[in-house]
A and B are shown apart, each in its own frame.
Chain A
Amino acid sequence: MAVKEKRNIRKEIHNKLDDNVMQGALAKFTSEYPMARLKAYANVDSIDDLRDDLRTMKRWAVDHIDALADEFQHSVEERGGKVFRAATGDDVKKILLQICEENGVHRIVKSKSMATEEIKLNGALENAGLHVRETDLGEWMLSVAGQKPSHMVMPAIHLNKEQCAGFFEQELHEEVPSDISYMIHTARRVLREEFLHADLGITGANFGIAENGAIGLVTNEGNARLVTTTPKIHVVLIGYEKLIPKVKDAAKILRLLPRNGTCQRMTSYMTMVSGPTPIIYKKDGKWVEENRKQYVILLDNGRLAAAKDPKMKQVYQCVRCASCLNVCPIWRMVGGHVYGHIYSGGIGAILTGLLGNMEAFSKFSDLCIGCRQCTTICPGEIPIPDLIDELRARYVKKYGLSMPEKTAFQHILTHRKVFHSLLRIGSVAQKPVQSGKFIRHLPLFFSGMTDGRSLPAIAAKPLRDRTEELCRHNPKTPVMTAAFFSGCNMDFVFPDTGESVVKVLQDLNIAVTYPQEQTCCGKPVLGMGDRDTGKVIAKQNIEALEATGADVIISACPTCAETLERTYKELFKDDAEWKARAEAVAGKVREFTSFVAEQYKAQGRTLPQAERGSRITYHDSCHMRRGLGVWEQPRELIKMTGADFVEMKDSDRCCGMAGAFGVKYSEISKPILHDKLENIGNTKADTVAVACPACMMQIGGGLNQQNPGVRVKHVADILAECIAER
């Protein structure tokens, strides 16, 4: 059920950015994780084959979820267990309290279960007078602290040992030194008593096998093994998404989950329990053996609706490894708590929305910057940013945008002339604060920038006013014609780079046209979830591009290229006429660097070695690398210029701009940029090349203030300089 929470996300973010303990822990972990993960996979032939297998199996499962659930229930019941179907968290609580009452239960031990966190089970049980203990060390400490997990696999990663010792003392009323080994042995002693005296054990499940009714539990501590061994009753709370068809399908999860989750080839314990199993205990002074009672509660809470949703059913591919957090540049900065609900990070936003709390989702869904890092490692190959986009669009469709965004997007962006004249006014209005090429504040949508990063000025003469002159230099007998879609940044902020693009194309004997009716690609509105406004803008651009009749459409901004090539046709998937027109346009769209590299190769071109003696590094834009899959070509082009090319660390990690994000959340954006600048500085390069104007703005602004000795250049600028040498 939707719970209205009054939250001040900005304040929470600031607190987390100031939390030095958490910042230190997350910085260390996220820098170590990628290599540790790869090491765990070093002995498999192909990670992607394993991911494909998992996805295929889970897709089949969700497409047959009703039959699978029936089979699972039958298998459990055939073996003597009892199955309940719970529509909501409240249903689960009712069922559990009934079980406790019928069996005279007083003491409960739990092993880690996100589903029980999701429905806030512990509080309900405690309110009913039951003694409930978490037994996973991290969860136990957090329950004492009254905190929520900040990560699904490492719940207490935000704490240090001194804080942990404090929680030990609070719970045990004894002195506990902040010595990790001491704390571990104390936990063993205290929790062992809980295991031995518990009447009932509650576990979640990493998977549930329909074929034999077994549930699988993956732990390192072994607490799930004890929870399923010492108490006389075992209750399993399992979400429908955990069901898999056959015993052998478990392998598909287990080859990925530990490696992605904890960088292990297998966790210490992988336990499967099928049906009630024996227990030996003292009954009336005599040792007896009998089968324990087993209850399995299948939890819906929004899952079955998601299973029937053609797009959202992909969440069933999640195995809760939480690796999407481990590579998320935003989670690394803010930790898990600001995501508000139980499930944090990108997948957390989606689960939160689907499992009944769209209000909470809407509060933090814009913390996904669409960098797509997570999509490269997700074991189930879930397109996490796309699902967030989809949920956001549904939210906006239902509730609309907030007022200032409405004005900016619906009333300005849809009217090209209004939008463009505002930008022109901006270029005049900013004059007094401009210094050199960069200014501190821009009017309009660039407001709210602070120190640590300069923003470039809006150019006095936009690209659109220069193209008529530029196009006079078109070749007389061109090999093809190209329509140049510049995007707002290149039009109004970096028109010189726009000129470079035109020159490089003309040098390839291509005639360039610049359709004046083109406007913003629409990504800012689409990113906010306003697809109706997005469609209005898309239609304007499609018409403008069609009218050119050009052979290809060139974009030197990967975000625009991706939007024109992928997003427009999806936007019109239910509108046959516009879908066909969007597809025709998409078929002609080419990203600048990959197009040029291909042409150079085809024509056997070489370039004057104009960059000999300079040292150049390259930053991969997220949309370029993971959206368009282009990363080799810009590097090849740079190497053609004779430059000494050097790779930077984490070249494909987001620079922190991410469209409107870098402005709205500048406090998160700046530390991300700081890491990027440090990696650039360490290469000792004199130039950082980019192929994306947004990255150029962010990195250029940072360098301007923090490392003015290094220049940022679009690959088009580097190439244009070379050609000029000829």
Chain B
Amino acid sequence: MEKVCADWPAKAFDEQLVSGKYWDEFAENTKAAATELIHAGTWQEAEQLLQGLVQDMEAKEILAVGGEENPRLGMMYQHLQGDGRTVYTDKFEIAEHAPQADLGISTAEFGVGESGSVCVDTASYESRVTGMLPPTHIVFLQADHMVKNIDTAFRVIAKVYKKGYMGFITGPSRTADIERVLSLGVHGPGRFIVIAVDEPAQRRA
């Protein structure tokens, strides 16, 4: 999958800037932004949580990206398949089924304590439609990939951002254009769920 940076931890993170100690502020700010934050100790636990979510929302067509880079995630996507569900992981299939899909699953590079944002590398078309077109978007994040604030976030980004499409997601799509009443899901997902996993992901080089 095309990315702004193929390996953020190796190329962009440094220990001064990225640390799990910003977790509490991150968690507090995700809540304020109406993000559903779920904490999992292991990938196995994360998989169970994902299965539960998918069953509850009765998702039939699922778009899923990031499985090639993270084999454990790729396995989870395979396990979701069946039981009346179709999981699309091929970019052309994703493009074709995106307008009707019930759920999109993707990954984030790091979280931002100050704002509860997650930084998403969405250089590829398939990652963008996965995150924007379905009514629900689930993002996997490694729990200790956290920066303190927006300033440090951009110091990290500046190391690798030469070209492409990326940014922050901070909660579901929202509007307050009618009587300043907060309403979710106007264009993008009405539900935004972050599953943060403690166990380090094994990356495929």
Contact = CB atoms under 8 A, between A and B. Distances in A.
A255 B174 contact: no
Contacts of A137: 175, 177-178, 186
Contacts of B2: 278
A254 B125 contact: no
A136 B161 CA distance: 28
Nearest to B172: A268
Interface string A263-281: 0111111111111011111
B174 A251 contact: no
Given A154-B180, A214-B161, A265-B115, A225 B92 contact: no
Contact of A266 (B116, B157, B161, B185): B116
A289 B91 contact: yes
Nearest to B124: A278
Contacts of B32: 265
Interface stretch (B38-46, B59-67, B80-88, B146-154): B146-154
Contact of B167 (A154, A220, A221, A270): A270
Contact of B132 (A159, A212, A225): A225
Interface in A90-140: 135-138
Given A265-B114, A268-B33, A275-B163, A246 B149 contact: no
B129 interface: yes
Contact of B169 (A29, A213, A269): A269
B49 interface: no
26 contacts: A43-B29, A156-B178, A157-B180, A180-B178, A180-B183, A181-B183, A184-B178, A188-B185, A222-B173, A223-B187, A225-B167, A226-B187, A226-B188, A229-B128, A251-B154, A254-B150, A255-B150, A265-B115, A266-B33, A268-B171, A270-B168, A271-B166, A272-B167, A274-B161, A274-B164, A289-B91
A267 B170 contact: yes
Per DSSP, are chain B's interface residues mostly helix, strand or loop, or mixed? mixed
B155 A43 contact: no
Nearest to B32: A265
Contact of B187 (A135, A164, A181, A247): A135
Interface in A138-172: 138, 141, 154-157, 159-161, 164
Contacts of A191: 187
A282 B125 CA distance: 13
Nearest to B152: A251
A184 B186 contact: yes
B181 to A, nearest CB: 5
Contact of B155 (A155, A248, A255, A268): A248
Taking residues whose C-beta sits less than 8 angstroms from the other chain, chain B's interface range is: 35 or more
A270 B122 CA distance: 12
Which of B117, B162, B179, B180 has the most CB atoms of chain A within a 10 A radius of its CB?
B179
Contacts of A265: 29, 32-33, 114-116, 170
Given A251-B153, A265-B29, A287-B95, A274 B162 contact: yes
Contacts of B158: 246-248
Contacts of A282: 96
B111 to A, nearest CB: 12
Interface string A193-219: 001100000000000000011101000
Nearest to A228: B165
A272 B151 CA distance: 16
A470 interface: no
Which of B32, B112, B125 has the most CB atoms of chain A within a 10 A radius of its CB?
B125
Given A196-B99, A226-B132, A278-B124, A247 B157 contact: yes
Contacts of A544: none
B151 A255 contact: yes
B50 interface: no
Interface of B: 2, 25, 29, 32-33, 91-92, 94-96, 99, 112, 114-117, 123-126, 128-129, 132, 149-151, 153-155, 157-158, 161-181, 183, 185-188
Interface in A174-199: 180-181, 183-185, 187-188, 191-192, 195-196
Contacts of B163: 79, 212-213, 274-275
Contacts of B176: 154, 220, 262
A209 to B, nearest CB: 9
A681 B165 CA distance: 56
Per DSSP, are chain A's interface residues mostly helix, strand or loop, or mixed? mixed
Contact of B165 (A29, A180, A183, A272): A272
Contacts of B153: 251
Interface residues of A, number: 72
B164 A275 contact: yes
Given A221-B188, A223-B186, A266-B115, 12 more contacts: A79-B163, A154-B176, A154-B177, A164-B178, A180-B179, A195-B187, A266-B168, A269-B167, A270-B170, A271-B166, A271-B167, A274-B165
Nearest to A273: B165
A280 B91 contact: yes
Contacts of B132: 222, 225-226, 229
A187 B170 contact: no
B168 A280 contact: no
A503 to B, nearest CB: 52
A271 B165 contact: yes
A354 interface: no
Nearest to A247: B158
A274 B95 CA distance: 22
A720 to B, nearest CB: 49
A325 interface: no
Contacts of B181: 180
A221 B173 contact: yes
B177 A155 contact: yes
A17 B66 CA distance: 55
Given A226-B132, A268-B33, A160 B150 contact: no
A343 to B, nearest CB: 19
B178 A183 contact: yes
A195 B129 CA distance: 12
Contacts of B128: 225, 229
A229 to B, nearest CB: 5
A264 B174 CA distance: 12
B100 to A, nearest CB: 11
A220 B174 contact: yes
A138 B187 CA distance: 13
B169 A138 contact: no
B129 A229 contact: yes
A221 B162 contact: no
A25 interface: yes
A596 interface: no
Contacts of A28: 180
A250 interface: yes
A160 B179 contact: yes
A273 B121 CA distance: 11
Contacts of A184: 175, 178, 183, 185-186
Contacts of A192: 99, 187
A136 B177 contact: yes
A277 B186 contact: no
Contact of A221 (B123, B126, B157, B174): B174
A25 B32 CA distance: 24
Interface string A69-89: 000000000010000000000
Contact of A280 (B95, B185, B188): B95
A266 B150 CA distance: 9
Nearest to A164: B178
A136 B178 CA distance: 12
A274 B3 CA distance: 12
Contacts of B125: 229, 277-280, 289
Contacts of A281: 95
Contacts of B167: 216, 225, 269-272
Task: Rank and list the top 6 A-B pairs by shortest CB-CB distance, nearest first.
Answer: A222-B188, A138-B177, A266-B115, A251-B154, A280-B95, A271-B167
A379 B33 CA distance: 22
A666 B115 CA distance: 44
Contact of A25 (B129, B151, B165, B179): B179
Contacts of B151: 248, 251-252, 255
